Amino acid sequence: MKRIIFSACMLQLLVPAVAHSSQWLTLPGRTNPNHTWQFRNPERSEQPYFRLHSEFEAVIRGQSPQTFQGEGQPGFYDPNATVPPSAPVYGGGAAPPYGGPAPLGYDPFTSSPYAAEPLGNPYGFGVVGPQPVRFGWTTHWDTVFISDASMGPGGSVSMFEVDWKMDYVTQGLRGWTWKLSPEFNFTNFNFQQPSFIGLADNYYRFAYRFETTSPQQGPFTWRLGFTPAIATDFQSDLNAGGWNFDADMTMFYRVDPRFLWVLGVSYWDRADDFVLPNAGLVWTPNEFWEIRAVFPKPRADLFVGTPWGIPMWLYAGAEYDVQSWQSGELPASGQIQLKEWRAFAGARWESGYWESYLDFGYAFERSLNVDFGPTSDLSPGDAFMIRAGFQY
């Protein structure tokens, strides 16, 4: 019986070699010309010259089960099979904008002008590309400190801010996405002489933003927003100076996965009225870079990898910002209005459901207007700034 089994095994090895004899080179033997040596010809075929019998394959598979199987053949291991394609976690190729399958990784919820997009960042691909809609609630916390700066009339002022916001994103009719966002902002002005300024130190803002974004229609997507707010120091009864009504409308035109035009307009209701363009070009040259040349908040992001296992981005940008509050220390419907540019650079991270950032910057071209009939500018000087925040 042992001889029979041994003979069967030898036949399994020898028969395929004979069948593939055209793949072999035959050379005469050195010592006996009647003997020949066979060498495999690499130019004819790369197929193995023997194959295990299916029963032996079954035994080996039972000892070393495989993870991936051939398509449509349960239990059969195909060495040429490939893993079905899927979106990478960080990085990848082009992805359809606005809600289609897209690679994950880019933080669509930072403090950038498009941070609270219900569709995340609609601007590109790769690690800085468009994100799927993040439905449900997302909470944001941000803090800002601006160092002491001298004022025109004398004295100085520093600032401290705490901002909180919750975004609720849901699907509406005909593919439109809605975002509802209650907001709270606390701002502290630490005035240091002269004492005649007579302004309160603490100011509060309560707002609720309504925003809707259309599904992509050809290369176009639309976004509409409206934000009523109350901004006051609570030192007197609320009047017209404590109400702000902001509105914005923006069109996105997708040229290709690398270029997106942004064309829109924003109305800011402050002590003065501001009508500003929200326009520019977003360029995503590759899957690591995103450059938003968009007024009033240009920004550039770079994915630098996963140090310590945590995805990390570096970024730099600038923001034009105007805030105003009703001031009960002023007569009539007096208001104060802060207008400034903020330039910054920093890093942000993702870790599971948590995201955070830290940056350093500079506040410049600042004005702090006291408006109660005649308007005077306290002219705070330039100052250094630090910001930090997280969301979940």
Partner residues linked to 386 by β-bridges:
145, 360
Compute the distance between CA of residue 78 and CA of residue 33 in angstroms, rounded to an integer. Answer: 44
User: Does residue 94 lie in a domain region?
Assistant: no
User: Does residue 110 lie in a domain region?
Assistant: no
User: Does residue 318 lie in a domain region?
Assistant: yes
CATH code assigned at 269 = 2.40.160
Partner residues linked to 248 by β-bridges:
225, 266
Q: Are residues 44 and 164 in the same domain?
A: no
Q: Are residues 41 and 154 in the same domain?
A: no
With CA atoms as reference, report the closest residue to 335 among 229, 206, 200, 153.
Answer: 200
Last residue of a domain, one of 51, 69, 89: 51
User: Does residue 386 lie in a domain region?
Assistant: yes
Q: Are residues 279 and 161 in the same domain?
A: yes
The pLDDT of residue 145 is 98
The pLDDT of residue 144 is 98
User: Does residue 236 lie in a domain region?
Assistant: yes
Taking the complete model, does pTM exceed 0.85, yes or no?
A: no
Q: Are residues 302 and 174 in the same domain?
A: yes
Q: Are residues 45 and 151 in the same domain?
A: no
**What is the per-residue pLDDT across 192-218, written as a single tens digit (0 to 9) for each?**
876 556 788 999 999 999 999 999 889
The pLDDT of residue 132 is 56
Q: Which domain holds residue 147?
A: 133-391
Q: Are residues 141 and 36 in the same domain?
A: no
User: Does residue 378 lie in a domain region?
Assistant: yes
Residue 45, pLDDT > 60, answer no
Q: Are residues 21 and 162 in the same domain?
A: no
User: Does residue 118 lie in a domain region?
Assistant: no
Query: CA separation (Å) from 112 to 20, 36, 145, 154, 180?
Result: 66, 78, 17, 34, 18
Q: Are residues 168 and 308 in the same domain?
A: yes
Q: Are residues 45 and 150 in the same domain?
A: no
User: Does residue 128 lie in a domain region?
Assistant: no
Residue 110, pLDDT > 60, answer no
Last residue of a domain, one of 31, 51, 71: 51
Q: Are residues 14 and 146 in the same domain?
A: no
Q: Are residues 382 and 288 in the same domain?
A: yes
Which tokens is 359 given?
Answer: 């940056």
Residue 378, pLDDT > 90, answer no
**What is the per-residue pLDDT across 56-101, written as a single tens digit (0 to 9) for each?**
333 333 343 333 333 333 333 344 444 444 333 343 333 333 333 3
Count of domains forming the chain:
2
CB contact at 8 A, 364 and 343: yes
Compute the distance between CA of residue 355 and CA of residue 116 in angstroms, rounded to an integer. Answer: 13
Average pLDDT (139-159) is 93
Residue 311, pLDDT > 80, answer yes
Q: Are residues 165 and 47 in the same domain?
A: no
Percent of the chain at pLDDT exceeding 90 = 49
The pLDDT of residue 48 is 44
